[in-house]
Amino acid sequence: MPGQPQSSMLRLILARLVQMAVTLTVVSVLVWLAMGLMPGDPLDLAMLADPGMSAADMARQRALHGLDQPLHQRYLAWASAVLHGEFGFSRLYAVPAAQVLWPALGSTLVLLGWALGLSAAVGIGAGVLGAVRRGAAPLVDGAAILAQSIPGFWLGILLIIVFAVGLGWLPAGGAAEAPGLLEAARFLVLPVATLAIVNAAAYLRHSMAAMQHEMAQPYIRTARMKGLPPRAIIWSHAFRNAAIPVVTVAALDAGALVSGALVTETIFARPGMGKLIYDSIMGNDYNLALLALLLAGLVTMLATLAADVAQRLIDPRLAG
């Protein structure tokens, strides 16, 4: 039936959206509880700022802001506000939370996009090379193990030492101070390189294994005997089949990529979701931390869903 694949794809997407909503709700409850257990509530900080505050003032303030309510009632009030699009206030930045969330999301998506594209291109390219050229295999293999084992934050520091401190070519971190694409790119190079190198390892290992498997199949020998040029054999025969497990990696790897962005942004002091989550937790800005965390989770799950949809599109066996 011609309508079949579409409806199964629709069902996948709907099921995933339900699962996402459940996951985000569970996470928001758990994180809400965890944050109740972190040191310092909002008024402790207000008191630090104003030593003249008396215990009676504190109690009155707590009642005013609803901080004397039980945890579950505060959660329900917060959740209903968020579902109505009211994201509340960021204490750390002293502006409405939405004002810091969206620019941070944009900055992170730029970092993620470049890092994902670069790591997939380099990882798949090197993986195919390692599978096709026998001599390159040990070298590619070694690079994969190195990239997989290197701690991302250390790689970032090493790149800062070499390119910012030693050679002085690129800034050690921060955000672009002047407008212009070139200026933005200068601040993007090292973070993207850090994230891409760490993230390329998974693509490299899986594309190499998948290509090695495909290149040993009889249909490749047939293609060779037909006299097809090697380029056509590699890319339009073997790689089309090898791409399926590689896309699976992309789906499984979305979480690691976002985690990597958090560390990378923290090292390079790059304003983004990762740095926002870290700074807001460190600065006791619970509302912003929770919102940023949920937004990061949502982005990750949407990326996973996109990879799953892509996998169904390129693998006819899954489409039915």
Per-residue mark of binding to other proteins, 138-167 (x: CB under 8 A): -------xx-xxxxxxx--xx-xx--xxx-
Max intra-chain CA distance, the chain: 89
Per-residue mark of binding to other proteins, 206-245 (x: CB under 8 A): ----------------------------------------
Please state the closest distance from residue 168 (CB atom) to other proteins, in A. Answer: 11
Pick from 101, 271, 293, 311 the residue near other proteins by CB under 8 A.
293
User: How far apart, in Å, are the Cα atoms of 233 and each of 139, 214, 224?
Assistant: 23, 11, 7
Q: How far apart are CA 88 and CA 273, in angstroms?
A: 17
Tokens of 229: 């040029």
End-to-end CA distance of the chain: 10
Tokens of 311: 């996998």
Please state the closest distance from residue 153 (CB atom) to other proteins, in A. Answer: 5
Output 14 or 282, the one with its CB closest to other proteins: 282
What residues between 246 and 265 interact with other proteins by CB under 8 A?
Answer: 252, 254-256, 258-260, 262-263
Task: Answer whether 236's CB lies under 8 Å from 229's CB.
Answer: no
When asked if residue 25 is in the footprint of other proteins (CB under 8 A), the reply is no
Q: How far apart are CA 306 and CA 300, in angstroms?
A: 10
Tokens of 102: 């969206």
Q: Name the β-bridge partners of 96.
A: 89
Q: How many CB atoms lie within 10 A of CB 281?
A: 19
Which residues contact other proteins by CB under 8 A? 19-20, 22-23, 26-27, 31, 34-35, 37-39, 145-146, 148-154, 157-158, 160-161, 164-166, 172, 252, 254-256, 258-260, 262-263, 266-267, 274, 277-278, 281-282, 289, 292-293, 296-297, 300-301, 304
